């Protein structure tokens, strides 16, 4: 089963805003009396940028995909068996979830600010759950295991 986490849509509000600015430039050029060809170029370009921005807001880019065998972060695939720990770390860009691998220089960072805040806790829990499953760990319930041959 694959789970997909997308980037926070608010990160891309600047794209349709840039399109609206281009449409404003087209309106100003039209008002000043610039030839229709130049107005049309800015108008079409502005319209396309607004549409692209709305598309991105409706369907933000994929940040990571969690599969049963691997995790894919921004296109980089890492097998669960290569991941040794999941945690948080501070970076120059703020908090990040770090997937530590067997080779420390290949650890993967997932910036917290790129995710919707409501999805953060769910992601951390799912990362730990899948890592435990990949390594055969189970959550300890606080009881001792039953042994077939009790000690005397």
The pLDDT tens digits along the chain (152 residues) read 788 889 998 889 999 999 999 999 999 999 999 999 999 999 999 999 999 999 999 999 988 998 888 888 888 888 888 888 888 888 888 888 888 888 877 888 888 888 888 888 888 888 888 888 877 766 666 665 666 655 55
Full domain range(s) for residue 92: 64-135
Say if residue 70 is in the same domain as residue 128.
yes
Say if residue 75 is in the same domain as residue 93.
yes
Say if residue 68 is in the same domain as residue 47.
no
User: To 5 degrees, how large is the angle CA 127–CA 99–CA 103?
Assistant: 140
Say if residue 131 is in the same domain as residue 77.
yes
Residue 106 has, within 13 A of its CA and on its CB side, a CA count of 10
Is 97 domain-assigned? yes
Is 145 domain-assigned? no
pTM over 0.85, yes/no: no
| Domain count of the fold of the chain | 2
CA-closest candidate to residue 120, choices 79, 88, 85: 88
């Amino acid at each position: 089963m694959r789970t997909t986490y997308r980037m926070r849509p608010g990160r891309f509000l600047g794209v349709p805003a840039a399109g609206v600015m281009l449409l404003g430039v087209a309106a100003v050029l039209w008002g000043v009396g610039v030839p229709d060809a130049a107005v049309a170029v800015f108008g079409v370009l502005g319209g396309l940028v607004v549409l692209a921005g709305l598309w991105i807001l409706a369907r933000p880019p994929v940040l990571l995909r969690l599969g049963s065998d691997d995790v894919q972060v921004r296109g980089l695939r890492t097998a669960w068996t290569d991941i040794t720990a999941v945690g948080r770390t501070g970076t120059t860009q703020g908090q990040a979830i770090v997937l530590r691998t067997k080779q420390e220089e290949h650890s993967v960072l997932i910036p917290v600010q790129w995710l919707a805040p409501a999805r953060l806790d769910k992601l951390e829990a799912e990362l730990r759950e899948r890592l435990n499953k990949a390594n055969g760990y189970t959550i300890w319930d606080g009881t001792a295991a039953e042994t077939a041959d009790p000690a005397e």
